[in-house]
């Protein structure tokens, strides 16, 4: 992630953050394991800045995100807009947890931009996937958290007010 951190350490931070945030915000227990994502997918993507030229992509079965949104918002039914709102806020909280853990491990002050939501699978153009963590749950729905390397310069602030960019 542009820090002195090893890939294994970063993967461990991401895994712990994802499991903790998912259970606490949505009451869903995700475990790493084999899972083939279905055809109905959503993706949320977030880019880190301040020289940490990386991004995180969460690609998940829409049914999983919808169930997490229903649990989190205490709604019996959710709209596609609710799923989008939940997914972006969820990735925000997840990235907050990740940057906090990176800070504690390396004293590096890492910031990230606003999450972007896509229907279907989105793969950031020109970014190389460093590793993929695959998750599944008791309903056999799943998600992938993908860590990408951003070509140098693309991950940095674009000149807009940073207070509106970082979360």
Partner 1 sequence: MSKRIMAVDDSRLVRVQLEDTLKGTDYEIVAYCRSGEDAIEQYPVVRPDLVTMDIIMQGMDGLDAAETILKNDPDARIVMVSSLAYDGTFERAKAIGARGFVDKPFHQEQLLKVFGEALS
Burial degree of 58 (CB within 10 A; 0-12, 13-18, 19+): buried
Q: Are 111 and 81 in contact (CB under 8 A)?
A: no
- Separation in Å, CA 37 to CA 56, 161, 167: 17, 37, 29
Structure-token match 């989105």, residue found: 122
Residue closer to partner 1, measured from CB, 8 or 76: 76
Residue closer to partner 1, measured from CB, 92 or 149: 92
* Minimal distance, residue 89 CB to partner 1, in Å: 4
* Minimal distance, residue 39 CB to partner 1, in Å: 27
Structure-token match 């055809």, residue found: 39
Residue closer to partner 1, measured from CB, 10 or 68: 68
Residue closer to partner 1, measured from CB, 100 or 120: 100
Residue ranges that bind partner 1, judged by CB under 8 A: 20-21, 24-25, 72-74, 85-86, 89-90, 92-93, 95-97, 99-100, 103, 109, 163-164, 166-167
Cα Rg of the chain (Å, integer)? 15
């Amino acid at each position: 992630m542009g820090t002195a951190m090893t890939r294994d350490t970063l993967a461990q931070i991401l895994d712990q953050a994802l499991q903790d945030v998912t259970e606490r915000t949505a009451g869903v227990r995700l475990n790493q394991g084999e899972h083939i994502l279905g055809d109905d997918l959503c993706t949320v993507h977030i880019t880190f800045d301040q020289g940490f030229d990386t991004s995180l992509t969460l690609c998940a079965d829409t049914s999983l995100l919808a169930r997490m949104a229903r649990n989190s918002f205490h709604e019996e039914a959710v709209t596609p807009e609710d799923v989008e709102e939940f997914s972006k806020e969820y990735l925000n909280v997840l990235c907050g947890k990740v940057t906090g853990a990176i800070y504690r491990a390396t004293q590096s002050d890492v910031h990230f931009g606003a999450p972007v939501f896509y229907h279907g699978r989105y793969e950031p153009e020109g970014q190389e996937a460093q590793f993929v963590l695959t998750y599944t749950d008791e309903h056999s729905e799943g998600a992938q958290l993908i860590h990408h390397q951003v070509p140098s310069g693309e991950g940095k602030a674009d000149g807009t007010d940073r207070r509106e960019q970082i979360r």
